[in-house]
Every structure is written in structure tokens, then in C-alpha cells.
């Protein structure tokens, strides 16, 4: 098993998190960092973390016992301004993801673990960029996918993610909800014999019988009924202000959320450092940290590597599960 780790935005905490995790022996198995060797070396010097780095341009050059860096040669230490958005750094961070995803499709890597990028920095050179998930889906040529956030305290998936609230409401459609629930069920079925999936409503009190909107009546309830006809344990819609508490107490294995913040807010309140971001439905296995670039603490030696470690271990688990 060979895992690709993308370095993320070099002006953020990505390089520091990688170096810390390797220094502390938290990354088992074989892996390669896709990024810039000189930047990682410079980062280690800045924060006083000394781990052996080895630049490679193919797996034939891989060496055990060191941090192997597939050197993209895009950035130098002079390009790094900690905590600042940069067009060049943003473009490089996008390249790391695209390169790793393509190599995984080709069978060079078994999975990709991504460190955080800054969307605004990437949009300085790629105005249409919306996120890792959408970029990798485009590379895979796939339309059916969803984002899952998972920790020991809560698991959520999303009907829509990086869109405006107006578009998020328009995306609350029966077929999309059924697809997300199905992908959620498939992701959990290896861990839970019969996953219990709750579907959150869109409107206050889950619409209260149409008093606060018809999305529940017209789209969400028919989607839940179709999932049940397909043999899945899917129920709802439940009021968004109570369902996450119920799920966190063990009543459900996952919650299907109608939009980005509906799922992200409870996840980050309950387990900010331990959450893992997983893309479901794609040919490329991809997990990620559940936090951003943290520009305000970059290169200060205080970034937390826990979410990265959890994402890495989750990727290994998914690779093993896919091979069964």
C-alpha cells in the first residue's frame, strides 16, 4: 500500500503538520509527500523539526525510513510568506492535488490524503476552483460523489457543499438525496451491519408539515421513502436543531445534511481536531484533514497534527476495505 500526501498551501500549516507527524512516528506504512522538497526542508529549519527528507521523481527512488518527497519543483523558500495568500503558492497547492489524484488513477498510489489549501489563493490562477472534492471528481470524470465528515463522535454527509445558500436550496432534490444516502450506506456497511442513517430537514422544524417550506414534503420525504424501498435503514427528515445531538449519543450512525454548514458546524463543535474529511463515490480514495490552512499560526510550531493522522489512518482503512 502506497499513500500520497499532498503538502497543501505552503504558506499554511500543511508542511509543519507533515513534519510533526513524521517526527512523532504517527504515520505508519509506505507513503510519499507530493509537494516541494526545498519548502519542506526550509519549513523544518524554521520551526526546528529535523526529519530526514529524500526527494524523488518516481517510486523507483523510494527509500524506507525517510520522508520521501515527490518533488514538483514549483516553489522555493523565497516564495514562502507564512500566513499570506499567494497566487504562485495557491497554484502549486492545486498542482499537488491534481498530480496525486492522476497518479492514483494510474495505480501509482492507492489513496490520497490532502492537507489544507486556500481556495482564494487557488482562485487567483483558477477562478473556477471550488474545492478538493470537486477537483478530484473532475479528474475522475465522475458526477456522483459526496463529502463525508467523520469522527468517533459524529458522521455526516452532504447533499451540497461549496455553493451559495440559494443554490444549496435548489440542490435539495429527491434523486440527489437518495444518491447521498446510498453512498453513505455503502461507506458504513463495512463497519456496521445495518447502518442507521438519519436525514436532516432543510427548514426550521423540518418544515413543520409545509408551514415553513415545502422542500421536506416535495423532495426529502419522497427520497427517504425511496431509500427505504431500496432496503436501507434511512429515516427522517428530522429537525436540524436536534438530530445531531441524537446522532452523537449513538441513535444513528450518520446524518445526511442538506448543505455545507448544516453538517460542518456540529462536527467542528463536537470534534474539531479529530474529524476526517472523506470523499465518497470516486475511483480515487481521498481523505483530508477537517480544518483549513490556519494562516494565523503557520510556522509557529503549534499546529495540531491529530486530524492529519486520523485522515491518514482512515485512508489506509479504506484501501484495505476496498481490497476485500
Q: Can you give the length of the chain in residues?
A: 324
CATH code of 50's domain? 3.40.718.10
What strands lie across the sheet with 111-114, from one edge to the other? 53-56, 67-71, 30-35, 2-6, 111-114, 286-289, 276-280, 146-150, 155-158, 254-257, 196-200, 233-238
* In a shared domain, residues 170 and 257: yes
Residue 320 lies in a domain: yes
Cα separation, 127 vs 269, in Å, equals 31
On average, the pLDDT of the chain sits at: 92
Residue 80 lies in a domain: yes
Place of cell 516553489: 75
Residue 147 lies in a domain: no
Return the pLDDT at 189: 80
Count of the separate structural domains present in the chain: 2
- Beta-carbon-side half-sphere exposure of residue 185 (alpha carbons within 13 Å): 20
**Do 324 and 318 meet the contact criterion of CB atoms below 8 Å apart?**
no
More confident residue, 277 or 179: 179
Instruction: Check whether 8 has a pLDDT greater than 70.
Output: yes
Can you give the residue range of the structural domain that contains 182?
158-271
* In a shared domain, residues 307 and 238: no
More confident residue, 258 or 186: 258
| String of DSSP letters for 263-321 | HHHHHHHHHTTT-EEEEESSSS-EEEESS---GGGTTSS----HHHHHHHHHHHHHHHH
pTM for this structure?
Answer: 0.83
* In a shared domain, residues 4 and 137: yes
Return the pLDDT at 323: 56
Return the pLDDT at 190: 67
Mean pLDDT of 94-107: 96
pLDDT digits (tens, 9 = 90+) for 211-247: 899 999 999 999 999 999 999 999 999 999 999 999 9
At 144, the pLDDT band (50, 70, 90 cuts) reads: confident
Amino acid at each position: 500500500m502506497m499513500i500520497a500526501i499532498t503538502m497543501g498551501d505552503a504558506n499554511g500549516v500543511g508542511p509543519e503538520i507533515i513534519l510533526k507527524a513524521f517526527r512523532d512516528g504517527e504515520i505508519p506504512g509506505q507513503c510519499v509527500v507530493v509537494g516541494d522538497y526545498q519548502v519542506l526542508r526550509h519549513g523544518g529549519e524554521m520551526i526546528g523539526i529535523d526529519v530526514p527528507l529524500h526527494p524523488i521523481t518516481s517510486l523507483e527512488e523510494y527509500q524506507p525510513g525517510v520522508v520521501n518527497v515527490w518533488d514538483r519543483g514549483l516553489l522555493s523558500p523565497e516564495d514562502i510568506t507564512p500566513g499570506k495568500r499567494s497566487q504562485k503558492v495557491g497554484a502549486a497547492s492545486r498542482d499537488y492535488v491534481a498530480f496525486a489524484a492522476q497518479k492514483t488513477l494510474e495505480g501509482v498510489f492507492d489513496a490520497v490524503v490532502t492537507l489544507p489549501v486556500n481556495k482564494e489563493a487557488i482562485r487567483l490562477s483558477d477562478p473556477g476552483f471550488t474545492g478538493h472534492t470537486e477537483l478530484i471528481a473532475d479528474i475522475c470524470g465522475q458526477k456522483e460523489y459526496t463529502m463525508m465528515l467523520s469522527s468517533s463522535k459524529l458522521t455526516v454527509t452532504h447533499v451540497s457543499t461549496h455553493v451559495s445558500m440559494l443554490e444549496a436550496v435548489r440542490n435539495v432534490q429527491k434523486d440527489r438525496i437518495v444518491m447521498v444516502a446510498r453512498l453513505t450506506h455503502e461507506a458504513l456497511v463495512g463497519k456496521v451491519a445495518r447502518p442507521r442513517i438519519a436525514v436532516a430537514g432543510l427548514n426550521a422544524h423540518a418544515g413543520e408539515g409545509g408551514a415553513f417550506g415545502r422542500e421536506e414534503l416535495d423532495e426529502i420525504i419522497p427520497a427517504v421513502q425511496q431509500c427505504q424501498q431500496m432496503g436501507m435503514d434511512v429515516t427522517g427528515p428530522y429537525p436540524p436543531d436536534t438530530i445531531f445531538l441524537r446522532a452523537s449519543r449513538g441513535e444513528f450512525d450518520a446524518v445526511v445534511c442538506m448543505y455545507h454548514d448544516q453538517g460542518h458546524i456540529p462536527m467542528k463543535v463536537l470534534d474539531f481536531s479529530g474529524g476526517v474529511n472523506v470523499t465518497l463515490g470516486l475511483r480515487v480514495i481521498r481523505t483530508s484533514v477537517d480544518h483549513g490552512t490556519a494562516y494565523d499560526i503557520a510556522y509557529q510550531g503549534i499546529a495540531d497534527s491529530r486530524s492529519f493522522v486520523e485522515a491518514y489512518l482512515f485512508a489506509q482503512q479504506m484501501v484495505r476495505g476496498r481490497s476485500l
